[in-house]
Amino acid sequence: MPRNKIIGAVEIGSSKITVLIGEIEGGRELNIIGSAEATSVGVKKGEIVDLSSVGRCTHAALIAAERKAGVQVDEVFLSASGAHLEGFTNIGTVNVHDADNWVSEHDVHTAGHSARRKALPPGRCYLVHIRGAACADGREVDNPVGMQAAKLELKYWNVHADERRITDMIHIISGYADGLSVEEIIPASVASGRISASDDERRAGALVVDIGEGTTDFVLYRKGHIVHTGVIPVGGGHLTNDLSIGLRITFKQAERLKLRDGKAVLEKGDKEGHVMLEGDLQIGDRPIPRLAIAKILNARVAEIFSIIKNRLGSAVSAQAVPGGVILTGGSSELPGIADVGRDVLGVDTRVGTHPAWVTREDLRDPGYSTTLGLLFFGLQGQSLGERKAEAPKAGLLRRLFK
């Protein structure tokens, strides 16, 4: 390798646009050499509503990150979210070719192909095909190659998206610098799940919920494989909006109040307590009952979890996810949010931390889990030999837009 590869991880979020720049040394080691974030204008509920201003914000963040790193980005890994993302399970089945029923690479390839080829309605495109468990004559195995079986089944979780929204994002990146290409687009849930849950937790079975500003992205792991991902277009922005409507205060005041005094559970002593709206003793400042704040936030947070519960059904229970529920994303910092999750989902719930290799203090914020996850996938993409079965395979898009 003539020089180290520089990859950029870009998340176009509803509150901010985050860029991390990583240097891949020798194809095996990742150094984070630059980071920047810009306030996001024109993204709501994870979807771009104002392309030109989002473009400006993204470019500003990229410039700032490149300046800090002192290098230019070669390729970009992008995360995608929003209600337009959808997924489904498809199983590819083949009769093993070999006369003695030895499963070969070719069989796996054929089964995978048939699981991924389902046609989508016009205007939709596949984002990723995520390989799940393989079944050799009913036995669930990780890698069936070399085993003896008559029938091979491969399970895939396929995520597809609105084509227009994806091309919009790609145009923003390609508009930044000539030749800057989007290497891969990964659902935000997949990216943050990879960072927030450890290998052991994913193997045991875990649910990662990334509650951001505009969306809540979740990913369910079973036996180390992704079996479900989803997006709920509700996030911290809704918490703020609810406070602002319920307490009759401005959106800005509500945002400050949420960060300063927000709580997702009712605690003893909240019944009577008050907090001042501004705390600056100015005219217009008024006491806000703690009870009101907690009730409003509790209602919304509980609803987010109950929607997840509805979507996943029996797949989320203490038996099915021994690894528990791991919360991440900016809104996971709301005090008491894990307690609400535990109550609603009936599964042990905690706020996740980043793995130990993330040493930079400023990147330990849960809001960075998606971009860190993107970098991780960037690293994996470089060392293809080590690519794990669960890693997303390059979708149709990669071929389309290259």
Partner 1 sequence: MGEATRDWQEHPLRVKIIGVGGAGGNAVDRLRMSDPGPMELAVVNTDFKTLDASPLTEKVMIGKTVTGGLSTGGEAELGRQAAEADRAELARMVEGVDLVFILAGLGRGTGSGAAPVIAEVAAEAGALVVAFVNLPFSREGQRRMRQAEDALAAMREACACVISLPNDLIVQQAEGDPTLLEALAIADDWIRRGVQAICSMILENGLINVDFATLREALHYRGGKAVFGFGEGSGDGFVEAALRDLERCPLLHLPDNRFLRKTDGLLLHIRGGPDMPLSDVYRVMDFIGERFGCKENTVLGAAVDGSLQGRVQVTVIGTVDVTGARRHPFRVPAAARPRPVAPPAPRPAPVAEAPAEHTAPVAKTVVATPRSAPPQETESTGAARREKHPPEGQAEFEFLVGEDRGYFEKTDENIYEGQDLDVPAFIRKGIRIAV
> x-or-dash pattern for partner 1, window 26-45, by CB under 8 A?
------------------xx
**What is the spatial distance between Cα 124 and Cα 295, in angstroms, rounded to a whole number?**
39
27, 175, 246, 273: residue in contact with partner 1 (rule CB under 8 A): 246
Nearer to partner 1, 116 or 160 (CB): 160
C-beta of 211 vs 374, nearer to partner 1: 211
Site for partner 1 in 310-369 (CB under 8 A): 310
Q: Which is nearer to partner 1, 27 or 289 (CB)?
A: 289
Position among 90, 167, 174, 241 found at the interface with partner 1 (CB under 8 A)? 241
Smallest separation, CB 74 to partner 1 (Å): 34
For partner 1, which stretch binds (CB under 8 A), given 195-203, 217-225, 243-251, 391-399? 243-251
Contact with partner 1 (CB under 8 A) among 20, 21, 24, 47: 47
Least distance (Å) from partner 1 to the CB of residue 321? 23
Binding span for partner 1 by CB under 8 A among 56-64, 203-211, 218-226, 229-237: 229-237
Range 265-304, binding partner 1 (CB under 8 A)? 288-289, 291-292, 295-296, 299-300, 302-303
The distance of closest approach from Cβ of residue 29 to partner 1 in the complex, given in angstroms and rounded to an integer, is 41
Q: Where does this chain touch partner 1 (CB under 8 A) — which range of 93-101, 132-140, 231-239, 351-359?
A: 231-239
Q: Is 222 in the site for partner 1 (CB under 8 A)?
A: no
CB of 148: closest distance to partner 1 in angstroms? 47
Q: What is the 3-state secondary structure (H, E, C) of the chain?
A: CCCCEEEEEEEECCCEEEEEEEEEECCCEEEEEEEEEEECCCEECCEECCHHHHHHHHHHHHHHHHHHHCCCCCEEEEEECCCCCEEEEEEEEEECCCCCCECCHHHHHHHHHHHHCCCCCCCEEEEEEEEEEEEECCEEECCCCCCECCEEEEEEEEEEEEHHHHHHHHHHHHCCCCCCEEEEEEEHHHHHHHHHCCHHHHHHCEEEEEECCCCEEEEEEECCEEEEEEEECCCHHHHHHHHHHHCCCCHHHHHHHHHHHCCCCCCCCCCCCEEECCCCCCCCCCEEEHHHHHHHHHHHHHHHHHHHHHHHHHHCCCCCCCCCEEEECHHHHCCCHHHHHHHHHCCCEEECCCCCCCCCHHHCCHHHHHHHHHHHHHHHHHCHHHCCCCCCEECHHHHHHC
For partner 1, give the closer residue by CB, 182 or 232.
232
Minimum Å gap between C-beta 25 and partner 1 is 42
Q: How many CA atoms lie within 13 A of 211 on its CB side?
A: 27
Which residues in 247-266 contact partner 1 (CB under 8 A)?
247-248, 251
Residue 117 or residue 248: which is nearer to partner 1 going by CB? 248
Task: Find the binder of partner 1 among 133, 234, 327, 345 (CB under 8 A).
Answer: 234
49-78 binders of partner 1 (CB under 8 A) = 49
Using CB under 8 A as the criterion, which residues of the chain lie in contact with partner 1 when the complex forms? 44-45, 47, 49, 83, 232-234, 237-238, 241-242, 244-248, 251, 288-289, 291-292, 295-296, 299-300, 302-303, 307, 310
